[in-house]
């Protein structure tokens, strides 16, 4: 009897190594769940959500462990995703974008992140960079750069953080000295996602005096003399996307590559990050949703003390709390996404709240799901540990959660 139990559990556990059944599959089986991410969406949104979930299940989830362990940057897969519009989700249609809303983008990134959180996070950063060019660039820049970026024929990286300026971004020191029709860049950027692989670097640099008003935004193209890269960083997670320092040594960039006016760079960077915070929080949602499904399915088949773990009331209550935190995170993110789309006055603080709450809570969900797996959860053969590792950094980047607390409290105290 025990042998039969172990055989049945072993077969199911081997299935869990491949990751959870996606919500799209559950929908086909007629299951309506209290954590269903399609709740509250209109029919059009449900359709492209289904497309994203199916793409994640077929093109991403089967490979996410390999991409992680071998540190592979899945260019071919991302170009397939771009054919569905995922390379320029909220970019205007006249330059090849899908023309969707911030809420639509959140729905898509959440779905894709169930297949591979790390790769989806890079795709969300790429989208942010393209949006910055689309929104603030000249017509010539939009028409030249956005179409290949939306098709992911070219990839983009966001370059703000420096070795000496992380949270204090306005103190950046990378300089851009104008010489006739070029800027000469000197300095370095740290922790750049896509560094060394991307074709376009959206760089914040100092063209004027100290503080935010002295910062401008320029596009530096790969292959420009004076542009080089540091070693590929070894990271806890996010291994399907390379992270390197980006180095400028007398790097001459045409003035025509400046996005917006001189001194507008910090504003552009912060506008980009408002959306970036929604995007990365949405990636956390996807990781948490996948982790919760894995935990739920594991509790149903894992037997201890003569019965399934799902019969244990303590674990039932934990699962309920995880579900409540997941749905609360999703609602907060979608509220912030709509505020950002509508350019409401409270958009910045709502984006900060959503990023703070969702990335903290969703990491806790992933971590608790691993705990429910016991020793199996700590094995790299099982997907749950990768969701934990890939979602941890979301509490740090796009503005650390400590900075989010500062922004929220500042808003409160100004009233």
Taking the C-alpha atoms of residue 181 and residue 81, their distance in angstroms, rounded to an integer, is: 37
Q: Is the dihedral of CA 34, 298, 57, 126 positive or negative?
A: positive
Q: Which segments of 222-278 are extended strands (E)? A: 227-229, 243-254, 258-259
Chain length of the chain: 415
Taking the C-alpha atoms of residue 280 and residue 306, their distance in angstroms, rounded to an integer, is: 41
Of 207, 235, 203, 234, the C-alpha closest to 220 is: 203
> In 3-state terms, what secondary structure has residue 209?
coil
Q: How far is CA 220 from the centre of its chain?
A: 23
Torsion angle (degrees, nearest 10) of CA 39, 41, 43, 44: -140
Kindly state the greatest CA–CA separation across the chain.
83
Beta strands 156-159; 200-206: pairing state: parallel
Taking the C-alpha atoms of residue 312 and residue 306, their distance in angstroms, rounded to an integer, is: 11
Taking the C-alpha atoms of residue 128 and residue 342, their distance in angstroms, rounded to an integer, is: 17
Catalytic amino acids?
398
Is the Cβ–Cβ distance between 388 and 315 less than 8 Å? no
Taking the C-alpha atoms of residue 34 and residue 324, their distance in angstroms, rounded to an integer, is: 9
DSSP for residue 60: I
DSSP for residue 379: S
DSSP for residue 213: G
* Phi, psi angles (nearest 5°) of residue 295: -65, -45
* Phi, psi angles (nearest 5°) of residue 41: -90, 150
Dig out the tokens for 358 from the structure.
Answer: 């969702």
């Amino acid at each position: 009897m025990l042998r039969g139990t172990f055989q049945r559990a072993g077969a199911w556990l081997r299935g869990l190594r491949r990751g959870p059944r996606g919500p799209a599959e559950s929908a086909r089986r007629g299951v309506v769940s209290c954590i269903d991410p399609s709740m509250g969406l209109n029919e059009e949104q449900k359709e492209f959500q289904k497309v994203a979930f199916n793409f994640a299940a077929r093109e991403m989830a089967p490979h996410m462990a390999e991409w992680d362990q071998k540190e592979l940057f899945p260019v071919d897969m991302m170009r397939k995703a771009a054919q569905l519009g995922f390379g320029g989700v909220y970019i205007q249609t006249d330059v090849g974008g899908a023309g969707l809303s911030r809420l639509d983008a959140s729905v898509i990134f959440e779905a894709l992140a169930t297949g591979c959180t790390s790769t989806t996070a890079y795709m969300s950063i790429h989208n942010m960079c393209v949006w910055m060019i689309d929104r603030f660039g000249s017509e010539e820049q939009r028409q030249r750069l956005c179409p290949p970026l939306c098709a992911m024929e070219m990839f983009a990286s966001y370059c703000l953080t420096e070795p000496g300026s992380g949270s204090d971004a306005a103190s950046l020191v990378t300089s851009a000295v104008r010489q006739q029709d070029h800027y000469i860049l000197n300095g370095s950027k740290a922790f750049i996602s896509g560094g060394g692989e991307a074709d376009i670097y959206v760089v914040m640099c100092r063209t004027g005096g100290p503080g935010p008003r002295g910062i401008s935004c320029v596009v530096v193209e790969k292959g420009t003399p004076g542009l080089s890269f540091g070693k590929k960083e070894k990271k806890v997670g996010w291994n399907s996307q390379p992270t390197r320092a980006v180095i400028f040594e007398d790097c001459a960039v045409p003035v025509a590559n400046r996005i917006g006016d001189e001194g507008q760079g910090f504003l552009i960077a912060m506008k980009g990050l408002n959306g970036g915070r929604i995007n990365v929080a949405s990636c956390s949602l996807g990781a948490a949703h996948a982790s919760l499904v894995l935990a739920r399915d594991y509790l149903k088949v894992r037997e201890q003390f003569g019965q399934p773990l799902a019969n244990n009331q303590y674990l039932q209550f934990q699962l309920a709390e995880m579900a409540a935190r997941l749905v609360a995170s999703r609602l907060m993110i979608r509220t912030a996404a709509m505020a950002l789309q509508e350019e409401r006055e409270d958009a910045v603080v709502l984006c900060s709240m959503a990023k703070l709450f969702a990335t903290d809570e969703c990491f806790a969900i992933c971590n608790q799901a691993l705990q429910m797996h016991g020793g199996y959860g700590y094995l790299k053969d099982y997907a749950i540990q990768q969701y934990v590792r890939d979602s941890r950094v979301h509490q740090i980047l796009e503005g650390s959660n400590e900075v989010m607390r500062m922004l929220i409290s500042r808003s409160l105290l100004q009233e």
